[in-house]
Amino acid sequence: MGTNSVLHTELIVDKITIRGGSHLDGSIEISGAKNAALPCMAACLLTDETLILRNLPAVVDIRTMEKVLGTLGTHVSHETTPSLLSITQSLTCNEPSEYKAPYELVKTMRASILVLGPLLTRFGKASISFPGGCSIGARPIDLHLEVMSKMGASIDIHHGYVEASLPSGKRLKGIDHTFPYISVGATENSLLAAALADGKTILRNAAKEPEISDLISLLISMGIPIEGLGTSTLAIEGQRQAHGTHYTIIPDRIEVGTFICALAITGGSLCLQGVVLEHVSSLLEVIERSGCKYRYDVTKKVLHLERSPSDRLEPINISTAPYPDFPTDLQAQFMAVLTQADGTSTIIENIFENRFQHVMELQRLGASIDMDGRTARIHGPTLLSGTTVMASDLRASAGLVIAGLAAEGTTTIERIYHLDRGYAHLDHKLRSVGVEIERIK
Ligand code: EPZ
């Protein structure tokens, strides 16, 4: 594996243009899940043995996590598949010279906070730039810090950094903890911290997302006994050490959902390869209600989707909530689809207080959307007409791409670097199934 090979996705392009009106036809390979890959990468800090991770998506956030781990003394090398869609990584973390995740990296990716738990539990210290608010909400980290503190760490905030430490020679101690509400990141950080803690940790009201189960499966294969996979109560038997392993990351259910939206808005037929059906069942339920048909081939893990462009798209009501309910990470993409539904749909965003920045951009394309706090009412069908719009975050960008597929004429999406943080070559994949989409540097 080459340490110096450059990820294809490092190319920062600034615009995408889409000519609306194509129907999708063809097959797309689903990439590995970014949000499963990031905590799994952080798990390399638990051991001095090598961790080999396969099926990581070729996206910028993975590169950023490589840099974070690199500043912590981790030797990282990676290999990209010939299709450029997926990466295999080798990660080895000996004693770091610094225990610090700097502001320059944390400000570009909040998931950097996931190094806190493993650093603290293995080395007894960590200094992580305090992540500020972001475009989708305040996103505090109090739940992460509460767990570390309850496990025996002292936590101070100095000059914008979370400084966490343990008395010399001490380990974090196992705890019985109930999260006051569900947090994906806090569950992951706590799992990582508990892996090398002294004694058993029980986490209640933990997040149950497939990305959490992926981290648990990895930790188990690193020698950490964990019970409760897929449930909200997790019991972790802390060990003195973890060992290296080989592990393959799950497919990205949010990417699957994004292509489902693409098909729903354009019509046509699409085969998505490498789909875990149970990870997307809440989406399929919604999409069936709106009038799309699907069939799943269990042995090949292929999802076949079909919608005749002349079929009526039914309005639907969606409330975002933790897994297994409807994911916030697909709210913007579904909103774009609902601009074409025959009637009024409602979306309630329950996870992030500010995750409606795509609404104004959709309105610029001609969508009719009323807002009332965390509720959006989308009146369809409206004729969308292409213009220049601006992406504000990763999923908002994807929502604008979906809208562009249905808009009359050309839609230009600016600040498309947001998209490259989490989608592996979305434009290539859409082009391969018939969309007229171009990147402009
Ligand atoms: C993860 O973010 C994902 N990120 C997000 O995906 C996803 O939207 C989110 O989970 C919800 O599913 C990664 O996995 C890297 P949370 P996370 O902690 O862990 C509040 C994408 O587009 N909260 O479950 O940060 C928080 O503000 C990204 O791929 C606290 O108040 O989300 C939010 O309202 C964006 N205090 C709610 O909990 C805390 O200490 C849920 O957040 C932690 C969270």
For 269-320, write each residue's pLDDT tens digit: 999 999 999 999 989 988 888 888 999 999 999 999 999 988 889 999 999 9
Last residue of a domain, one of 230, 248, 266: 248
Cβ atoms of 220 and 197 closer than 8 Å: no
Residue closest via CA to ligand 1's atom 7 equals 329
Last residue of a domain, one of 190, 225, 248: 248
pTM value?
A: 0.96
Say whether both 158 and 215 belong to one domain: yes
pLDDT tens digit sequence for 118-127: 999 999 999 9
Say whether both 313 and 165 belong to one domain: no
> Ligand 1 pocket, 258 CB below 6 A?
no
Q: How far is the CA of 135 from the centre of ligand 1 (A)?
A: 12
Residue 134 has pLDDT above 90, yes or no: no
Say whether both 385 and 280 belong to one domain: yes
3-class SS of residue 223: coil
Say whether both 50 and 199 belong to one domain: yes
Question: Rounded to the nearest 10 degrees, what angle do helices 142-150 and 116-123 cross at?
Answer: 20
Instruction: Considering the candidates 134, 261, 271, 292, report the single residue annotated as catalytic.
Output: 134
Give me the domain span that covers residue 336: 5-30+251-440
> Ligand 1 pocket, 144 CB below 6 A?
yes
Say whether both 379 and 235 belong to one domain: no
93 catalytic residue (yes or no): no
> Ligand 1 pocket, 185 CB below 6 A?
yes
β-strand pairing of 86-93 with 100-101: unpaired
pLDDT of residue 9: 43
Residue closest via CA to ligand 1's atom 39 equals 141
- Short-list 82, 76, 48, CA closest to 243: 48
Say whether both 339 and 400 belong to one domain: yes
Mutate to test the pocket of ligand 1, among 31, 34, 35 (most ligand atoms within 8 A of CB): 35
Say whether both 354 and 256 belong to one domain: yes
Last residue of a domain, one of 191, 223, 248: 248
Say whether both 224 and 305 belong to one domain: no
Query: Going along 349-435, which residue ranges are E strands?
Result: 368-372, 375-380, 388-390, 410-414
Q: How far is the CA of 184 from the centre of ligand 1 (A)?
A: 6
Say whether both 426 and 330 belong to one domain: yes
The angle at the Cα of 141, spanning 132 to 125, to the nearest 5 degrees, equals 100
Q: How far is the CA of 167 from the centre of ligand 1 (A)?
A: 30
pLDDT of residue 139: 84
pLDDT of residue 342: 95
pLDDT of residue 354: 87
Average pLDDT, the chain: 94
CA atoms within 13 A on the CB side of 157: 8
Say whether both 124 and 73 belong to one domain: yes
- Domain of 207, CATH number, reads 3.65.10.10
Q: How far is the CA of 277 from the centre of ligand 1 (A)?
A: 23
pLDDT of residue 253: 98
Cβ atoms of 327 and 334 closer than 8 Å: no
Say whether both 423 and 312 belong to one domain: yes
Say whether both 25 and 38 belong to one domain: no
Query: In b/e form, how buried is each residue of 78-94, taking b as 16+ CB within 10 angstroms?
Result: bebeeeebbbbbbbbbe
Q: What is the total count of domains within the chain?
A: 2
> Ligand 1 pocket, 394 CB below 6 A?
yes
